C-alpha cells in the first residue's frame, strides 16, 4: 500500500490515476483541481483523501462548506499540504506550465514524482532534473512513450531513442488541407482520449516535439540521438536502440492506465484489469517518417532544443497560448505555428537558472503571444 497525492485529479490523467489507485488499493491522500470543484467533490466522496486543494474562490467556498477542515486554497495550500501529507508518490497530472511549481514542491516533499506534466521538463528540464538529484527524488515518467523508454533501459549506453507518434488526426494531410481544418476535426484523435490541450498538440505534432525535449531531460540524451517515427497503430510505445543494433521496445494497448499503473508500482509489475493485446488480431504494424514540413511544430521543437537556454520555455509558453487562442476560435489551426515561430524569432535567448525568473519569463511570453495573436486571423 502506498500513499498517493494527485495533482490535477479532475483531468484525463488524474481520473485514470484514481482508477489505477483504486485497483491497486493504494491510499489517495490528496487531490487538486484548478476550477472543476464539483468533480473534485465527487472524487472526495469516492476516495476520502485528507487534503483537497482548489484554485478558485468559488470552488473554495463551495468545498469548505461541504468538507470543513480538509480544503485548502491555491498554490500556498498545495505547498503546505504536500509538506504535511508525507506522500510516497505525487502524480503531477496538471496541464501546462502551471505544473512547474507543483513539481518543485513535489520533488522537495515526496519519494517519487510520477510526472505526466511534460511542460515542466520542456520549460525547466535542467533545473528540475538537478533538483530531483539534490533531493534524492525519483522522477518516473507517465507519458506512454517515456514510460516505454524507461522500461526499455538496460543500463548500457543508448545509441538512439526512437519516439513513436500516432501522427494525429491529420496524418497525410497537405498544407492546403490543414488551412481548412476545424476545432472539431482537431479534437478527434484516432487513438487516445485526452484533455483538449494535448489533443490539439497531437494534431499539430507539437506534442511529439515536447516529448523530444522531455526525453532529452529524462534520459540525458542529446537531440541528435532522438528520432521520431510515425506509428499510427500506437502499439509500440517507443524504442531504445543500443550500440549492438539491438532495439528494445515496450508494447502495450493504447490505454494510459497501463503506464500510470507502472509509474505507481515501479519497480514492481502488479496485475490490473486493463486492456491486453491479441497479437493474431493485431494485423500489420506500420511506420512512416514524420512530415516536418507540413507540420512545422515538430521542427520548431527540435530548433528550440538545439538553441537551448530559455528557447524551449518560449516554445512551450507560446504554444500554450496559441493553442488556447485556436480553441477559442480566435486563430486558425495553421496560425498556431506561425505565431509560435514569430515569438521564438523575437526572443533574445538568455540563460536563466532560477525558478522564479523562469516563471516571470513564462508570463511575459504568454502576454507577448496574446498580443501577437491579435494580428493573426
Ligand atoms: P486535462 O486538461 O484533462 O486535465 C488537466 C488537470 O489540470 C485538471 O485537473 C485541471 O483542473 C488541472 N489544471 C488546469 N490548469 C491548472 C492550473 N492553472 N493550476 C493547477 N491545476 C490546473 O489534461 P490531461 O489530458 O489529463 O493532461 C495532463 C498532463 O498530462 C499534460 O501535461 C499532458 O501533456 C500529459 N499527458 C496526458 C496524456 C493523456 O492521455 N491525457 C498522455 C500523456 C501525457
Ligand atoms: Mg505521449
> Residue 73 corresponds to which cell in the numbers above?
486554497
Alpha helices by DSSP H, the chain: 12-24, 37-47, 57-66, 74-85, 100-109, 118-134, 144-152, 175-178, 183-186, 196-204, 206-219, 257-265, 279-282, 296-307, 311-327, 335-346, 355-374
Pocket test for ligand 1, best of 43, 94, 196 (most atoms within 8 A of CB): 94
On whether the CB atoms of residues 60 and 32 are closer than 8 A, the answer is no
% the chain with pLDDT above 70: 100
In this structure, which residue's CA is closest to atom 4 in ligand 1? Answer: 11
CA angle (140, 28, 104) in 5-degree steps: 45
Residue 31 C-alpha to ligand 2 middle, in angstroms?
23
Q: What is the 3-state secondary structure (H, E, C) of 68-95?
A: CCCEEEHHHHHHHHHHHHCCCEEEECCC
Question: Ligand 1 site: residues with CB under 6 angstroms?
Answer: 8-14, 33-34, 36, 55, 93-95, 98, 116-119, 143, 192, 194-195, 197-198, 256
Q: Residue 110 carries which DSSP code?
A: -
Cα–Cα distance between 30 and 9 in angstroms, integer?
Answer: 9
Over residues 134-151, mean pLDDT: 98
Residue 116 C-alpha to ligand 1 middle, in angstroms?
8
Ligand that lies nearest to the alpha carbon of residue 142, given by its number in the listed order: 1
Q: How far is CA 227 from CA 23, 126, 153, 362, in A?
A: 35, 21, 16, 27
126-130: long-range contacts at Cβ-Cβ below 8 A with a sequence spacing of 24 or more? 126/217, 126/353, 127/353, 127/355, 127/358, 128/100, 128/103, 128/104, 128/217, 129/217, 129/218, 129/220
Residue 196 C-alpha to ligand 1 middle, in angstroms?
9
What does the pLDDT look like over 335-375, one tens digit per residue? Answer: 999 999 999 999 999 999 899 999 999 999 999 999 999 88
On whether the CB atoms of residues 9 and 51 are closer than 8 A, the answer is no
On whether the CB atoms of residues 201 and 323 are closer than 8 A, the answer is yes
Three-state SS at 345: helix
As a whole number, the mean pLDDT across the chain is: 97
Grid cell 515538430 in the structure block, residue: 298
What does the pLDDT look like over 80-127, one tens digit per residue? Answer: 999 999 899 999 999 999 999 999 999 999 889 999 999 999 999 999
Residue 271 C-alpha to ligand 2 middle, in angstroms?
23
Residue in 112, 127, 206 with CA at minimum distance from that of residue 168: 206
What does the pLDDT look like over 174-198, one tens digit per residue? Answer: 999 999 999 999 999 777 789 999 9
Residue 144 C-alpha to ligand 2 middle, in angstroms?
5
Ligand that lies nearest to the alpha carbon of residue 208, given by its number in the listed order: 2
Question: Residue 376: is its pLDDT beyond 80?
Answer: no
Q: Residue 157 carries which DSSP code?
A: P
Question: Residue 377: is its pLDDT beyond 90?
Answer: no
Say how many C-beta atoms besides its own lie within 10 A of residue 61's C-beta.
Answer: 13
On whether the CB atoms of residues 369 and 339 are closer than 8 A, the answer is yes
Question: Residue 293: is its pLDDT beyond 80?
Answer: yes
Residue 191 confidence (pLDDT): 79
Pocket test for ligand 1, best of 12, 200, 321 (most atoms within 8 A of CB): 12
On whether the CB atoms of residues 295 and 208 are closer than 8 A, the answer is no
Three-state SS at 363: helix
For residue 317, name the pLDDT band (cuts at 50, 70, 90). very high
- pLDDT: is 193 or 266 the higher one? 266
Ligand 1 atom with the smallest distance to the CA of 15 is: 26
Question: Residue 277: is its pLDDT beyond 90?
Answer: yes
Ligand that lies nearest to the alpha carbon of residue 149, given by its number in the listed order: 2
Q: Which residues place a Cβ less than 5 A from the ion ligand 2?
A: 143-145
**pTM flag (> 0.85):** yes
CA angle (311, 317, 318) in 5-degree steps: 85
Residues 6 or more apart from 320 whose CB is under 8 A from it? 96, 97, 119, 197, 366
Ligand that lies nearest to the alpha carbon of residue 166, given by its number in the listed order: 2
Least confident stretch, 81-90, 156-165, 291-300, 368-377: 368-377
C-alpha 37: how far from chain center: 22
Residues 6 or more apart from 310 whose CB is under 8 A from it? 347, 349, 350, 351, 352, 358, 361
Amino acid at each position: 500500500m502506498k500513499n498517493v497525492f494527485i495533482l490535477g485529479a479532475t483531468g484525463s490523467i488524474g481520473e485514470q490515476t484514481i482508477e489505477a489507485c483504486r485497483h491497486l488499493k493504494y491510499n489517495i491522500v490528496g487531490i487538486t483541481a484548478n476550477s472543476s470543484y464539483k468533480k473534485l467533490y465527487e472524487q472526495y466522496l469516492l476516495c476520502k483523501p485528507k487534503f483537497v486543494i482548489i484554485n478558485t474562490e468559488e470552488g473554495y467556498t463551495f468545498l469548505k462548506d461541504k468538507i470543513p477542515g480538509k480544503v485548502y486554497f491555491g498554490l500556498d495550500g498545495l505547498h503546505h499540504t504536500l509538506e504535511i501529507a508525507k506522500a510516497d508518490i505525487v502524480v503531477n497530472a496538471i496541464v501546462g506550465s502551471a505544473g512547474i511549481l507543483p513539481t518543485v514542491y513535489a520533488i522537495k516533499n515526496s519519494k517519487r514524482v510520477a510526472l505526466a506534466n511534460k511542460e515542466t521538463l520542456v520549460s525547466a528540464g535542467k533545473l528540475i532534473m538537478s533538483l530531483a538529484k539534490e533531493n534524492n527524488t525519483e522522477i518516473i515518467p507517465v507519458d506512454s512513450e517515456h514510460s516505454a523508454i524507461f522500461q526499455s533501459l538496460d543500463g548500457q549506453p543508448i545509441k538512439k531513442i526512437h519516439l513513436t507518434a500516432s501522427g494525429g488526426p491529420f496524418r497525410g494531410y497537405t498544407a492546403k488541407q490543414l488551412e481548412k481544418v476545424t476545432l472539431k476535426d482537431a479534437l478527434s484523435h484516432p487513438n487516445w482520449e485526452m484533455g483538449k490541450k494535448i489533443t490539439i498538440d497531437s494534431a499539430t505534432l507539437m506534442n511529439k516535439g515536447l516529448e523530444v525535449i522531455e526525453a532529452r531531460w529524462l534520459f540525458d540524451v542529446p537531440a541528435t540521438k532522438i528520432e521520431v517515427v510515425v506509428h499510427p497503430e500506437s502499439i509500440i510505445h517507443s524504442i531504445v536502440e543500443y550500440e549492438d543494433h539491438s532495439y528494445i521496445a515496450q508494447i502495450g494497448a493504447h490505454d494510459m492506465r497501463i503506464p500510470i499503473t507502472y509509474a505507481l508500482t515501479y519497480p514492481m509489475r502488479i496485475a490490473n484489469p486493463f486492456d491486453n493485446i491479441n497479437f493474431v488480431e493485431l494485423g500489420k504494424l506500420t511506420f512512416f517518417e514524420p512530415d516536418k514540413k507540413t507540420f512545422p511544430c515538430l521542427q520548431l521543437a527540435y530548433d528550440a532544443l538545439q538553441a537551448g537556454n530559455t528557447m524551449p520555455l518560449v516554445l512551450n509558453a507560446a504554444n500554450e497560448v496559441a493553442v488556447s487562442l485556436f480553441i477559442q476560435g480566435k486563430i486558425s489551426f495553421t496560425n498556431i505555428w506561425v505565431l509560435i515561430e514569430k515569438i521564438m524569432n523575437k526572443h533574445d535567448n538568455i540563460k536563466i537558472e532560477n525558478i522564479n525568473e523562469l516563471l516571470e519569463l513564462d508570463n511575459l511570453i504568454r502576454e507577448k503571444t496574446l498580443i501577437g495573436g491579435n494580428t493573426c486571423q
